[in-house]
Structure 1
Amino acid sequence: MAARDYGQYSGISQALELIGERWALLIVRDLLVGPRRYGELAAGLPRIPSNILATRLKELQAAGVLRRVPRSRVIVYELTPYGRELEPVVLALGAWGFKALGEPRDEQVITRESLTIDLRTAFRPQVAAALPATAYRARLGATELLIRVDGPALDVASGDGPADLAFATGPDLRRVITGELAPDRAIATGVVEVLHGPGGLLDRFASTFHLAA
């Protein structure tokens, strides 16, 4: 188990002893998107040293947060039901951290897993329930996601597919999600490039995915 011991008998200190070590919660975040092979986890966390990744996986497995399972002759890591209980915690923490996001540094990257969880964090099912079903295809650098919204249900998957609106953007999509930049201005200034479909659907996207800055 992790070496950190706070010497306190409480739920929060116990939780931090289980998932409070560096990188642990980001591993959980990526596994909330879906099972991953070791190499996929490493690729999604490009700055994690391999020995630290191996150690964190062993610690999280020992804590009952994740498990190793064979799949198509390879080993993948997936969250246990106990580990999946962390999803609302991760989403709430993401919403809280979103308020402090500034401009990205040159060395910072956006991965498909981080973008997927950010979209889950910003999703407003009560708003989406009153809107027509819509599919979006978002491209951020090498990352391309197909985002399907059908009532209060959200599905985010990597890859291509038919979409009502396809657009390319960058980290400044954050400004659209927070309401700092209106969708029409985002298109006019090149923050969002419409690749297919009516640009007016970006208003629907901004209504469906919103986080207070």
Structure 2
Amino acid sequence: MPPRRSYDQYCSAARALDVVGDRWTLLIVRELLAGPRRYTDLHADLPGVSTDVLASRLKDMERDGLATRRRLPPPGAAYVYELTARGRELLPVLQALGEWGQGELGERRPTDAVRAHWFALPLLRLLDGEGLVEVRLDEGRFHLRAGAEEGPVYGDGPAPGEPDARLVLDTGTCTALSRGELTLARAVREGRVEVSGEGPLAKALREV
């Protein structure tokens, strides 16, 4: 494997960018925060990345201790990639980057791809507490694990098991939340987010 390129600067920010500064790396981390993913699934949810670049970035992430590759037991028998503990430490980095960049979203362009689960990290920033949350948007459903210290922090589809809270909202509302134009509390008060469930998170949201 070729050696990692470096800025050759004795600075922690520069060293971090040596590892995660290449194009696509942090977006691969975003996808792997959902748990183990097959190469084909990663490629499908990273529109615009070439197969060569994706394979190269995954190898770099393995080399740098951010991700590992393993084979699932039968009947799956497919290879999956997943984050290491070091890779999971990038969650707050992605959250801070997403919060900083929310003003850059603007109106969605005709060429912009979107996946329902890309709204997971912005919503996680807005949830105060811990628990399993199921979210239903126009584009589909996904679930979040607020306050999760281990394992996936979100995933596609319905929640596995009974969620602590269910949120139903339209894409326009979710986009406004992601841009920082609307707080979750205000969206609930105005009826733009429908909250159901009996867990602490649901009760807290209904009481705002």
TM norm structure 1: 0.71
The yes-or-no answer on 1:144 pairing with 2:145 is no
Q: 1:171 to 1:96 in 2, by over 3 A?
A: same
Give the 3 Å change call, closer, same or farther, for CA 49–165 of structure 1 in structure 2: same
1:30 aligns with 2:31: yes
1:118 aligns with 2:115: no
**Does the 8 Å contact 1:138/1:147 carry over to 2?**
no
Question: How many pairs were matched up?
Answer: 191
Structure-1 separation of matches of 2:168 and 2:67: 35
The answer to whether residue 18 in structure 2 is matched with residue 21 in structure 1 is: no
Letter in 1 for 2:125: T
Deviations 1:135-190 (A, max 9, x none): 5531232x3124577xx679744323677655341154232463548537976xxx
Which residue number corresponds to residue 211 of structure 1?
none
2-structure distance, mates of 1:122, 1:184: 12
Any gaps of 5 or more consecutive residues in structure 2?
none
In structure 2, how many angstroms separate the alpha carbons of the residues matched to 1:55 and 1:113? Answer: 24
1:29, 1:113 within 8 Å by CA — same for their partners in 2?
no
Identical-residue share of aligned pairs (%): 30
Aligned-residue offset at 1:111: 2.0
TM-score, normalised via structure 2 length: 0.73
Confirm whether residue 158 of structure 1 aligns to residue 159 of structure 2.
Answer: no
Query: Which residue number in structure 1 is paired with residue 68 of structure 2?
Result: 67
Gaps of 5+ in 1: 208-213
How do 1:167-182 residues align onto structure 2 when only pairs under 5 Å count?
Answer: 167-176=168-177, 178-180=180-182, 182=186
Alpha-carbon RMSD across the aligned residues, in angstroms, is 3.5
Kept after mapping to 2: 8 A contact 1:33/1:116: no
Which residue in 2 is equivalent to 1:106? 110
- Quick one: structure 1 residues 179 and 159, their matched pair in 2 at CA, closer, same or farther if it must change by over 3 Å? same
Give the Cα–Cα distance (whole angstroms) in 2 for the partners of residues 114 and 78 of structure 1: 18
2: distance between equivalents of 1:4 and 1:138?
Answer: 42
